[in-house]
């Protein structure tokens, strides 16, 4: 029903006098939605109850935000203060854990392994280079490569990473430019996006096994030796009736590769045995580093402060659960979810991870199945168990402590505190 024109004129007059929508609706016997339709272009009345309520709400939110920011910073700083300066052993263990989480691993039947590490966090790259120096790797043996999306400033990113690692341009390989995909919604864009830096060590097969041995001693002391895959022993095309000479060559290569594998196993076993028992401080330090690599972290555009850890390595998952227990997180606060491709054996994977965690079925949520067609061939077969996601309920305080420990390791306590002050 059309309202008389004079009602709209009266309503606008009352609004300019400072009346609120409920007051105008009651005086003129109209609805508040009609008031909104007629009066939305007019400013809010100064000194009205509605304005006072909005002002009070804004102030309350500001006070709460400041209080939460102080509590967040205090929790992180208290955790960081427990780490203290890193010793030579701390650096050795932290670097091995970083590589276990972020480095390239040996594949069965694949090429000879080498140290190959990639990350987008400058702090992680910096401490990994310190770790390599601690192992005696000369700077001349390092090779670097920038990997960045085509929409970014490749020249600026290259200059940034070169300045960080402080090497000559001839140690930087050709950049890998990743094509932009329209179907993705990337948020890591803008002036602060520098892509990832790949760090390789030439002729580093023995070094690789030493690092993996150290990580094995951390996450699974006394466990099975680090596997050393069989290498291809003869690159020549096989013949139906090999000559005596070619058979002798293949036999020589097999013996040589077997001796190399034994030497690598010895290196890995010696490194694993040198770790020894971890102190409570080392367990917290290394668990936080593992989370910083494999766990969900707050972003500048999203602050969750929730503990979520995902990995496919059973030994690393068990180590993370040890870390949570040492940090005071009870098993009742843990929730698990298997994440894997739908073509795999879901039931077998569920039983496998249930046995790994020692938890009942009630702690496991519905599996998350990947239904898309992957661009790469997933690891299938009987050994494929997918990944396990570990969530900590009521984990805000735990997340703050983890970030405090991790950044104290990567940056040092003073630099971590400055970072928190800048980012809020």
Is a pLDDT exceeding 60 seen at residue 49? no
pLDDT tens per residue across span 154-179: 889 999 999 999 887 788 888 998 88
pTM over 0.75: yes
Spatial CB neighbours of 234, under 8 Å, sequence gap ≥ 6: 249, 250, 253
- Maximal CA-CA distance, the chain: 111
Segment (H or E) for 308? strand 307-311
Kindly report the backbone phi and psi dihedral angles of residue 387, in degrees, each rounded to the nearest multiple of 5, phi listed first: -115, 160
Q: What is the mean pLDDT of residues 343-359?
A: 93
pLDDT tens per residue across span 239-250: 445 567 787 777
Q: How many whole angstroms separate alpha carbon 140 and alpha carbon 138?
A: 5
Closest CA to 229 of 105, 383, 120: 105
Spatial CB neighbours of 217, under 8 Å, sequence gap ≥ 6: 271, 272, 273, 274, 275, 276
Higher pLDDT, 167 or 311: 311
Secondary structure (3-state) at 281:
helix
The DSSP call for residue 86 is P
Position 306 confidence tier, pLDDT thresholds 50, 70, 90: very high
Closest CA to 234 of 225, 223, 221, 243: 243
Phi-psi region of 166 (alpha: psi -120 to 50; beta: other; left: phi over 0): left
Q: How many whole angstroms separate alpha carbon 16 and alpha carbon 22?
A: 14
Domain boundaries, the chain: 87-180+193-230+244-277
pLDDT tens per residue across span 180-199: 765 666 666 667 788 999 99
Strand pairing report for 176-178 and 307-311: unpaired
């Amino acid at each position: 029903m059309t309202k008389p024109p004079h009602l709209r004129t009266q309503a606008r007059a009352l609004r300019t006098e400072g009346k609120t929508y409920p007051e105008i609706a009651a005086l003129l016997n109209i609805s508040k939605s009609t008031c909104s339709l007629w009066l939305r272009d007019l400013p809010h009345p100064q000194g009205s109850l509605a304005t006072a309520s909005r002002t009070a709400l804004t102030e309350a939110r500001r006070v709460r935000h400041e209080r939460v920011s102080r509590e967040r910073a205090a929790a992180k700083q208290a955790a960081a203060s427990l780490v203290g300066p890193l010793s030579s052993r701390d650096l050795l263990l932290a670097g091995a854990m970083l590589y276990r989480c972020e480095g390239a691993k040996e594949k069965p039947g694949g090429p000879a392994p080498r140290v190959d590490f990639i990350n987008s966090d400058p702090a992680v790259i910096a401490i990994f280079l310190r770790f390599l120096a601690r192992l005696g790797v000369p700077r001349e043996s390092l090779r670097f490569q920038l990997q960045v999306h085509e929409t970014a400033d490749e020249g600026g990113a290259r200059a940034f990473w070169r300045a960080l690692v402080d090497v000559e341009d001839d140690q930087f390989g050709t950049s890998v430019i990743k094509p932009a995909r329209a179907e993705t919604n990337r948020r890591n864009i803008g002036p602060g996006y520098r892509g990832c830096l790949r760090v390789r060590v030439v002729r580093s097969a023995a070094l690789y096994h030493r690092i993996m041995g150290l990580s094995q001693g951390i996450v699974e002391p006394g466990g099975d030796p680090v596997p050393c895959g069989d290498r291809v022993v003869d690159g020549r095309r096989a013949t139906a009736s090999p000559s005596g000479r070619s058979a002798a060559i293949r036999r020589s290569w097999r013996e040589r590769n077997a001796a190399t594998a034994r030497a690598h196993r010895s290196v890995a076993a010696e490194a694993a045995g040198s770790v020894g028992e971890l102190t409570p401080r080392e367990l917290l330090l290394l668990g936080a580093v593992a989370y910083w690599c494999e766990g969900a972290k707050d972003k500048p555009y999203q602050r969750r402060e929730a503990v979520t850890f995902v990995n496919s390595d059973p030994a690393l998952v068990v180590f993370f659960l040890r870390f949570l227990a040492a940090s005071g997180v009870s098993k009742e606060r843990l929730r698990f979810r298997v994440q894997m491709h739908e073509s795999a054996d879901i039931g077998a994977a569920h039983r496998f991870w249930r046995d790994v965690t020692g938890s009942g079925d009630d702690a496991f949520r519905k599996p998350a199945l990947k239904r898309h067609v992957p661009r790469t061939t997933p690891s299938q077969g009987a050994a494929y168990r997918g990944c396990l996601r570990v969530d900590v309920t009521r984990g805000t305080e735990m997340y703050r402590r983890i970030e405090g420990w991790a950044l104290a390791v990567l940056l040092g306590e003073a630099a971590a505190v400055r970072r928190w002050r800048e980012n809020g």
